[in-house]
Structure 1
Amino acid sequence: MTNLPTGHSLDAVVRQRIDQKTKPLGALGRLEDLALQLALIQQTETPTLQNPHILVFAGDHGLAAEGVSAYPADITYGMVQNFIAGGAAINVFCRQNNLKLLVCDVGVAGTFAENTPEFVKFKIRPGTRNMRHEPAMTRDECEAAMDAGRTLVNGVQYRGCNVVGFGEMGIGNTSPASLLMHRLTGLPLDQCVGRGTGLDDAGLAHKRSVLQAVADTHAHFSDPLDVLSAMGGLEIAAMAGGMLQAAENSMVILVDGFVATSALLVAQALKPTVLANCIFCHLSNEAGHRLMLEHLGVEPLLNLGMRLGEGTGCALAYPIVQAAVGMLNEMASMDVL
């Protein structure tokens, strides 16, 4: 950390530096708040962004057999192949903004032959169980998925990364995300459930009915890890573990949309201080995300009406994060005028 004058906190020093830039007070709005947050995360007046990564965790869901998604479950496998081939939206946006992409199979119901630096296999099991009838994961499986996320975060930090975004792929995963939101925020389930991949009114009504049955089946669980094991997903558990590790490593955490924020809800329930490291990149068009963010007391950087996942919001918001650092480190102060 930069040496500070006696009696001055880093918060006060950075605020003063921002206020002295060649602009009216507060003229750069949210960018000023973001610059301060980055300085506090890294505990320095001059934060840097090094070797940024987006980690995309993929897993299938046994609950998809209940018809809670507009797409068949095997799309998960196909989309991971698309990530590997470089043809998905997240590949495009990462290339555009010079972000490294790392895709991890923690629970896809299929076998991948590929073994590349951008794709790692950390499969815990081939998809979760059908949580309508039994817990989605055992406690050991859940913790193993969290450990996978921790391992990947430590791996990219070892390669010099200090800013990491979290994305996911898993057909049906807005259902576990909605259930986690319901249980961890206390909000009514109907306010947490949306159309996911594009369900019509009948499909949405069916999804709500199925999720209510799941919530009733697992109503006795309250411990965050028990809730995650019973009603979560392998990719959600991996993101939660990765977020916790990133916070422990004093890394900047980029949070994507609805499903990624549900993982953050779990992480925050386990360690509330993780929130200080998080930048919420966009407001998902999935019903419930705005309420989720309001529960956390945070504001997203972007609102583009997206609901894709994959970490796409992180990749698109990253240039704004870069701009905040550039403003703090490179913009002149009033004393030059």
Structure 2
Amino acid sequence: MALLSKWQQRRISLSEQDVKAIAVLMDSGFSLEETMHILQTPANRPCFDAIRAHLDNGRLAEDFLGQYLPAGYRSFLRDFLRYLPFLDSLQLAIAIMTQEKEHLAIIEKGLLYPCLLMAGMAGGIFLFEQTVLPTMLNMVMAANVPVGNVPMLANLMAWSARGLSIGTVLCAILVWLCTRKANIVKAYQFAALHFPNSLPVQLVSAQFTRFFQECVRRQISTRQSLEILSKMQERPLIAFLANELDHSFQQGESLSRAVVSPYLENALAAFFQTAIYAEDTSGILAGYLEMSLMRTRHQIEHFTHGVQAVCYLAIGLVIIFVYRILLMPMAMMQQIGI
């Protein structure tokens, strides 16, 4: 089979399941050709045929296979292949991607409900003020019932909803700007120096630990692990932290002192210091990640409860406000003795 053009190569790629299965079979001793023969299906056959064409031309898998992997794996594999054999690089990329997706899924699932609740509450109040409330006020005023400070309260409610909506949008824009590749390191440095042990520092420290732990599991030395991580162009924060620790190493500091950094949370430094003198370094780092995950879930629960309290309070005030308007004609009739 002739080699595919670059445009055709971008159109086909292996699925995540295929990538993981390839790593498992090759780790069990199968060659890449044997692995593809075992895993071939009508869905992945075009991609496998393209890979076979490269192999028939005498190319090594590490020289071309990355272009047939999903985008996330592709960037990791390219970074790891500079230092590790092909299979080790592939396994390391799979392990890190899997952990990242699991952690991100937990955060997204936890934050989805409170964010939707807050957006729904703000949008509902705004629509109520724009559509229902003017009609209610007109009906009350048509009955010659004094409305008192109700219009002022209505304006206050409307501006509160608008302010909340605008604030949410501005926060989203700020987060988007700070997480761009060109700005993310400077934004993180600012957050770490001015708000030590804050949520961004905790999340990035946990992410760095996941990367470092996977290197430790493959018995890569500390110095080489930091060298590998410092060259990860697609993960600028990981590269930044690895460079910081590697710089401390080059100045003669031990790892136990290097991890005491303003850019890492204090808890991680304590775990690292314990791991240095323990036989099971990977296990201790896994303990930190478990602790970090439990803490993240706890923080998400607190945030959710806070958002619920604010939303329920706002909805309750709106209901009381509506009832007050509805009861105005009855209060007026009681005053005139009807």
Task: Specify which structure has the higher proportion of strand.
Answer: 1
With structure 1 as the length reference, what TM-score do the two structures score? 0.22
Larger Rg: 2
Q: TM-score when scaled to structure 2? A: 0.22
Ranked by relative contact order (alpha carbons within 8 Å, sequence separation 6 or more), the top structure is: 1
